[in-house]
Structure 1
């Protein structure tokens, strides 16, 4: 189940409220965890109301119909929900840059379907620096979960699909910005081993950057106000093994932040490892070695930064603190230049209360969906 998360996530995003109702309701959630092979003590992440790529495409339609110019060093003002549209172009563009610089933002499965606010923050950050942001024209996945479960033939097929989808951009030298470190590591490492003779794979590997790495390389273009106060920084395992996390720390410090970056090692979630039945206890012990005690000991106003989706989930599920992606921290500093609203980034989570608030909406959406299906079925029978 976990190895095929790309397809499960795409399916779940078709009816996110219905899925969330099932996965967040007592009894139903227990059954869902049993089927998925998850320990009962874990929480199933909730789907966003709309994937980032759908939001992105709807924003593009809005810009076309209104004549609005996007990407002009200001935050996006459009956030209405909607659905994706197709485009005859190789990639879907939503902004017009005064400099002509184009970057491709990689919509990984987790930030796309579960935390689109992270991708939106990254997009707005890049646009604020005058970059034109585009995304792939069709659903893509680096295939990382497939490697973890030994599904190498399918993983290789997905890599060919990735290259086919963004081939024009790769050959044009367009930088590829990746938010999830494990995905970026695929393009820098596994792809080069699996497709050693593919020249486009080599080009892609050379053009991939994590967001912090890219911002550092183009620092003069980014207007980054002060980010005073403390930041607790945790680097993802792939980020530490393939990339250089010291750059992200230096970037935050250059904005005035006091950055604590203890030697946390692995968060313990390790992709889907901590979500699997039988692994929860060792996952917890790994997290309790350094990371989780450091998070709990951090002052309430301390911003916890972790780029990995699994790292942020481990922190949220084991400490009741909410970690944010570097993109969110940087964008919050930009949009609150007179004084960052740290309450947006330093939330303590009451999961029971959070579920209680959301559940009625999930239930209502589920009932509407079921009612619509039954109504359509009834009309078909009448015909």
Structure 2
């Protein structure tokens, strides 16, 4: 590998990169020798030539979402997703798309949609899987029941052979006479086996697609290579056919007593012309219900123990709905029809995120892919399910089921123990028995994800020795040296080899954080990432640093892989002291988007905090950790002479010098101190003769007011008190009496985010003493700063798991928006009738979301444009730390900056987070306000004037 790296300047052979590529979305772990991200076909060809010269195997990789272990290998991995990802052309007349191998399916669909077209096969990973990967694995997805599989739509492929030749081929010829002759000879010699054993049903993708070479199929060489998993050639380009999108669609959701009834009904629904016939069982829905904040759409499901999603097309919305109702009435099942985009998307999200959701059972037990992709003729599915459930009961296993029931394809996640030798032996026995059951029902082990490491060994249980010999010859014709993706399909690796996590995967001390969702195990927390790759989505909030760099190392998944390797102690030496792991985590913004957007709620912000705590334990830290982590104390000291401090920091040379001394980014401006703190303002206001007194009613009786506690966070107290001041006035107008904690408080977030967890715990523990009486009295704690508010709700119990006060604090803390949205008394606000750009805080998104903010803004008459790209990019300490400037600005440029710049002067910019407002003010010509400021404005608008009160 050293010689290969010397000849390949583009090769990445460092331990950090190799660790990030050890796994895809399967249960397997293989450490590559090198990774190359080709920029063009020439660079890919050079890499393959060098690998061939050194006898190093080559594995192609797209989005890395393969569930069978077919995108990992021990030699050279070619990742096409970073650079070779262009949509070359859309031809609306021919209804084709020509793409590079790394083109993301979602991007191709968006380009095709401009012409009323789409790609028929649409796996649930469409937002990050690549066309090259789809060709490799023979991807299908929900709509393949109507619009065909990847093989059905592949017209031409550009294939790089192991010998360096690049061939462009479709139907009729490879373009190479000798190659044509050998393929014809193979086909003709095995004609009987090919015709009787292959192509029996749509989801039979196990093995090679030799039936595509039959005369009646046009000797379609390109399609014969679909599903070959990179073992015959490396796809460098493709032309695929597109289909017309129906004018309108409605979603028919049917509820059945059990999954067998759902499976029995599926074939008729497919024959009736449904565009999808997707199934899922109650175990999956129960797992989703167990995820706080993730169960959107579940309440829309009709009653049942299993469900089918049938999308019905029509000439217009009314026609689609009428057709869906007609189909529903004919089934005899409980059913509902949905046409509203918001509700249909909520329902589809359940099915779309199934692969991630199913990684954890409802009770928190881990479930794994392995028997993930079996398929039988659709009419045999119910019987197959019964036998499979009997096997699970016999072996005391439970799992969740989803699948493409209309085509007999089943996805099953099972609670195997993959952390012990005995558990892995049980896994093998289960898989072998399940394979025999599938074959007995006329099926096979693979229905759309390929055979890979998970199922290639099972081909001997599925096909005759004669057909297996044909597979071997097919591989030898294309790749006689066995260079491409070795161990897959032909001469397969054992299905229980290289299983992760495997025994001995966690060799390090217990974390300081409770990690309650993972029973206190850092390894268990990291294992949450099965690799479905939602962090690589081009849209959404996750993961800002990956969106900026495009580097797998900087994705949430890549970081999880690196942490997993650290815990194994093999490829990354040094354990918690590892500099490679610190480097991988350095660009994590700790925005917590993964906590909400990842289907299995990976919380990389918490893992980063734990790592930094362990990494620097007993050692000096970067200066930025002291300057930013100890901000609450520094703010308190500086507030003794705020005007003098501000006068100094406003001088550019002094400010830059202070930033350098503190180890901070010198392109940043230091935030100004408030001339008086929020606490000082509050005390002065309380000395007024009227403020804080209970108001008198019309009959002169005193009206009792509920008391709420306002949390005076560091940012609102020392740096920007306006939001807290406005919050007080809004709460009082709503009829609340506002008090502050009995003494100084801090949630400890700045210490937490810099990994100073011991200090964070001590600070929080001391702060809770100022709240004990308030919490015991049942008072609500209202947060102003979203990051601190969420820390009170979540990090408090992780830092102080044995504290009843912390648990009460988490339960009794709310945001201003939530309190206002649920307020049932008099509405003291007038209409603002304005437009606004809303930057939701990323920590709020990791918790309750911004629904309450939108509800309040709507009631104020504000037309709101929401920034959906997630973190503003400053992210507390992140944007002030050196080396983060480019990622910080890139994150803001995704959507926040453009929307702010495009907003006219009358449009309000709303951002509750101090970091968000700072980023906006430092990166644009505009300023932003806290929601409390808008409510305060509306309060002024809605109140009677003194003259009106006198006359009233």
Structure-1-length-normalised TM-score: 0.79
In 2, the alpha carbon distance for the partners of 1:241 and 1:263 equals 13
Match of 1:40 in 2: 666
The question of whether the paired residues in 1 share the 8 Å contact of 2:781 and 2:812 is answered with yes
Residues 705 and 737 of structure 2 are in contact (CA less than 8 Å); yes or no, is this contact kept in structure 1?
A: yes
Aligned to 1:262: 867
SS at match of 1:336: helix
Q: Which of 663, 668, 676 is residue 50 of structure 1 equivalent to?
A: 676
- Given candidates 703, 710, 713, the residue that maps to 1:105 is 710
C-alpha distance in structure 1 between counterparts of 2:729 and 2:694, whole Å: 10
Residue 652 of structure 2: SS of its match in structure 1?
coil
| Mapped contact 1:101–1:132 kept (Cα < 8 A) | yes
Please state how far the C-alpha of 1:250 moved relative to its aligned partner.
1.5
**Structure-2 residue corresponding to 1:68:** 690
Equivalent position SS for 1:220: coil
Q: 1:282 aligns with which of 887, 893, 897?
A: 887
Runs of 4+ in 1 over 3 A off after TM superposition: 69-73
Q: Relative contact order (alpha carbons < 8 A, sep ≥ 6): 1 or 2 greater?
A: 1
- Cα-to-partner distance string for 1:133-162 (whole Å, 9 max, x where unaligned): 000122211000101111111111111112
Gaps spanning 5+ residues in structure 1: where?
A: 74-96, 339-383
Q: Could you tell me whether the CA contact under 8 Å between 2:694 and 2:705 is conserved in 1?
A: no
Match of 2:728 in 1: 123
1:87 alignment counterpart: none
Q: Distance in 1 between matches of 2:826 and 2:807?
A: 27
Contact 2:834 2:907 (8 Å CA) reproduced: yes
Q: Deviations over 1:297-341 (max 9, x none)?
A: 111110011111001100010012101000011111111349xxx
**Which residue of structure 1 lines up, in the alignment, with residue 794 of structure 2?**
189
Instruction: Work out which of the two has the higher radius of gyration on C-alpha atoms and give 1 or 2.
Output: 2
Report Cα offsets for 1:111-170 as digits up to 9, x if no partner.
Answer: 111111111100000011111100012221100010111111111111111211110001
- Where does residue 203 of structure 1 map in the other structure? 808
Does residue 635 of structure 2 align to residue 9 of structure 1? yes
Verify the 8 A CA contact 1:234 1:264 in the aligned structure 2: no
How far does residue 70 in structure 1 lie from its aligned partner after superposition? 3.5
The answer for the alignment partner of 1:380 in structure 2 is none
> Equivalents in 1 of 2:833, 2:692: separation in Å?
29
Q: Which has the higher helix share?
A: 1
Task: Quote the offset at 1:71 in angstroms.
Answer: 6.0
Partners of 1:43 and 1:57 in 2: how far apart? 30
Asked if 1:30 corresponds to 2:30, the answer is no
Q: TM (normalized to structure 2)?
A: 0.32
**Structure 1 position 261, deviation (Å):** 0.9
Picking from 164, 174, 186, the partner of 2:779 is 174
Contact 1:233–1:306 (Cα < 8 Å) also in 2: yes
What CA distance in whole angstroms lies between the structure 2 residues aligned with 1:98 and 1:19? 44
- Matched residues in 2 for 1:331 and 1:194: separation? 35
User: Any conservation in 1 of the 2:664–2:880 contact (CA below 8 Å)?
Assistant: yes
State the partner residue of 1:306: 911
Q: For residues 266-322 of structure 1, what are the alpha-carbon distances to aligned partners after superposition, in whole Å with 9 as ceiling and x for unaligned? A: 100011111112211210011101111111011111001111100110001001210
Q: Contact conserved, 2:744 with 2:770, CA < 8 A, in 1?
A: no
> C-alpha offsets along residues 230-288 of structure 1, whole Å, 9 cap, x if unaligned?
01111111000112201111210122111111313110001111111221121001110
| Alpha-carbon distance between aligned partners in 2 of 1:29 and 1:152, rounded to the nearest angstrom | 29
Residues 227 and 252, structure 1, Cα contact 8 Å, conserved in 2:
no
SS of residue matched to 1:324: coil
1:262–1:219: structure 2 CA closer, same or farther, 3 Å change rule? farther
Q: Which residue of 1 aligns with 2:273?
A: none
Pairs aligned (count): 312
Alpha-carbon offset, residue 21 of structure 1: 1.3
Match of 1:154, SS? Answer: helix
In 2, the alpha carbon distance for the partners of 1:238 and 1:71 equals 35
Map Cα deviations across residues 5-29 of structure 1 (whole Å, 9 max, x no partner).
Answer: 0000001111011111111112111
> Which residue does 1:329 correspond to in 2?
934
- Secondary structure of the residue that 1:159 maps to in structure 2? helix
1:362 corresponding residue in structure 2: none
Relative distance call for 1:195 and 1:123 in structure 2 (3 A) is: same
Does residue 320 of structure 1 match 2:925? Answer: yes
Residues 839, 911 of structure 2: 8 Å contact kept: yes
Alpha-carbon displacement from aligned partner over 1:189-220 (angstroms, at most 9, x marks no partner):
11111222211111111100011011112143
In structure 2, C-alpha distance between the alignment counterparts of 1:257 and 1:149, rounded to whole Å: 37
Q: CA separation in 1, counterparts of 2:685 and 2:932? A: 20
Task: Indicate which of 738, 746, 760 corresponds to 1:133.
Answer: 738
Matched residue, 1:226: 831
Tell me how far apart the structure 2 counterparts of residues 146 and 296 of structure 1 sit (CA, whole Å): 34
* Contact in 1 for aligned 2:630/2:750 (Cα 8 Å): yes
Structure-1 separation of matches of 2:893 and 2:691: 48
Tell me if structure 1 keeps the 8 A contact 2:744–2:767.
no
Provide the rounded CA distance (Å) in 2 between the counterparts of 1:320 and 1:38.
23
Among 636, 641, 647, the alignment partner of 1:21 is 647
Q: How far apart are residue 59 of structure 1 and its match?
A: 2.0
Gap change, CA 1:149 and 1:262, over 3 Å in 2: closer
